[in-house]
């Protein structure tokens, strides 16, 4: 394996295959016509391109042009059915050749025809795996969201006719968003959005009100049972919701709290308090105790120390925890599904669940999903720094 004239064609072949599959899927999704990778041809041509890459840039680009030409002639790494237009064909085969060549150039940068050192060989393999990894992860993450958004913009008949065709008809103008308009108008998604929002905000506020003092006590104050306590927080955090949901359902049915927003606001914070407490106590432990002691020496009481020193210092952690709790409350499905029956009191997730019937078109379901996903994504991308920190600060809850 560790000889340039073996490594180069093998990696070239694998890379060409990866690119052929990627471009075929991308082109299929973009145009609705059928593109498919030719397994044998892509391996063969990729191997050839890999060998060419050993002989300098001129040979590599020459091989790429040949590959593109062969593709247009129908013998390339990717083949298209008759349905594809000329522009799509040129773009597709051009993309295959271009990306194969670009990738091969990077991957095989240090590879020479003769024997290779272990270092050079492994570097090349790692570069191949890195390229493959980026494509793979980006594809698996993006495809479901792409399908979600595109389906919400197309009507049922068009989807059934060609499930691959995600090209959208821009001439409809605002008509594209008809399912969103319908959801807002006929299915009162506006009110669900508002319910979800204020339930989540209330959950965050209540959670913080409970978790901040608790976390401070666990992190800073000495009392018997402290170690036991910090463990039992984690343990509680592991009790599955479905186990609790059953008695909660019974209790709420008997006390008339079922089917009320009040009941939901009552129960959500309790599911998030252990998480928040756990995250916050980790952060509080990391704060220098000297600052607080200085405050104590200057005559502040403990509570004043928490309010005037600890909290301002832990604003970033509070932001992370709030975001995380907001996300949990916004995405919560099980309790909302079990406890809410009245359509006027639905949260967003419960509202989406009610769209899952054969009478409601699929595009409405997806439009509802987009409505629920977009706010949390925007919030998350805007505050990504806090979020990543918060998630790693001690919560692994899923």
Cα angle for residues 322, 328, 334 (degrees, 5° grid):
155
CB of 350 to other proteins, least distance (A): 9
Among residues 51 and 275, whose Cβ is nearest to other proteins?
275
Rounded Cα–Cα distance for residues 158 and 106 (Å): 42
CB of 221 to other proteins, least distance (A): 4
Among residues 19 and 370, whose Cβ is nearest to other proteins?
370
CB of 202 to other proteins, least distance (A): 14
Rounded Cα–Cα distance for residues 240 and 171 (Å): 49
Q: For residue 334, count CB atoms less than 10 angstroms from its CB and return exposed for 0-12, middle for 13-18, buried for 19 or more.
A: middle
Residue 33 is given by DSSP the state S
Among residues 58 and 235, whose Cβ is nearest to other proteins?
235
CB of 52 to other proteins, least distance (A): 26
CB of 58 to other proteins, least distance (A): 28
Among residues 51 and 212, whose Cβ is nearest to other proteins?
212
Neighbouring C-beta atoms of residue 60, cutoff 10 Å: 22
Q: Is residue 56 helix, strand or coil?
A: helix
Among residues 144 and 288, whose Cβ is nearest to other proteins?
144
Best CA proximity match to 258, nearest among 195, 345, 197: 345
CB of 390 to other proteins, least distance (A): 10
Among residues 149 and 176, whose Cβ is nearest to other proteins?
149
DSSP H helical segments within 225-356, as ranges? 226-236, 241-255, 261-286, 289-297, 302-305, 311-313, 315-331, 334-339, 348-355
């Amino acid at each position: 394996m560790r000889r340039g004239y073996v490594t180069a064609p093998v990696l070239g072949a694998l890379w060409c295959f990866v690119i052929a599959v990627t471009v075929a899927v991308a082109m299929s999704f973009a145009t609705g016509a059928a593109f498919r990778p030719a397994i044998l041809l892509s391996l063969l041509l990729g191997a050839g391109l890999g060998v060419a890459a050993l002989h300098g840039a001129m040979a590599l680009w020459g091989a790429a042009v040949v590959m593109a030409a062969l593709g247009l002639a129908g013998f390339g790494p990717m083949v298209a059915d008759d349905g594809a237009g000329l522009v799509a064909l040129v773009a597709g085969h051009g993309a295959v050749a271009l990306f194969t060549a670009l990738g091969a150039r990077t991957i095989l940068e240090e590879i020479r025809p003769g024997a290779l050192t272990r270092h050079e060989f492994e570097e090349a393999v790692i570069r191949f795996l890195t390229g493959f990894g980026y494509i793979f992860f980006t594809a698996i993450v993006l495809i479901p969201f792409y399908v979600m958004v595109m389906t919400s913009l197309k009507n049922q008949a068009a989807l059934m006719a060609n499930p691959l065709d995600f090209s959208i008809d821009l001439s409809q103008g605002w008509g594209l968003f008809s399912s969103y308009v319908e959801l807002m108008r006929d299915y009162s998604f506006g009110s669900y959005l508002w319910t979800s929002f204020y339930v989540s905000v209330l959950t965050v506020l209540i959670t913080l009100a409970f978790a901040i003092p608790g976390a401070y006590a666990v992190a800073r104050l000495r009392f018997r049972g402290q170690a036991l306590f910090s463990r039992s927080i984690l343990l509680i955090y592991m009790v599955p919701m479905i186990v609790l949901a059953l008695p909660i359902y019974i209790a709420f049915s008997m006390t008339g709290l079922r089917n009320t927003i009040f009941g939901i606001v009552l129960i959500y914070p309790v599911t998030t308090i252990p998480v928040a407490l756990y995250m916050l106590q980790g952060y509080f432990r990391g704060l220098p105790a000297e600052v607080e002691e200085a405050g104590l020496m200057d005559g502040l009481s403990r509570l004043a120390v928490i309010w005037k020193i600890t909290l301002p210092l832990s604003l970033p952690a509070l932001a992370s925890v709030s975001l995380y709790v907001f996300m949990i409350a916004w995405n919560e499905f099980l309790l909302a599904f079990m406890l809410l029956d009245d359509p006027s009191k639905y949260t967003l997730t419960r509202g989406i669940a009610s769209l899952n019937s054969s009478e409601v078109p699929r595009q409405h379901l997806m439009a509802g999903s987009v409505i629920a996903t977009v706010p949390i994504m925007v919030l998350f991308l805007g505050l990504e720094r806090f979020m990543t920190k918060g998630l790693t600060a001690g919560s692994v809850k899923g």
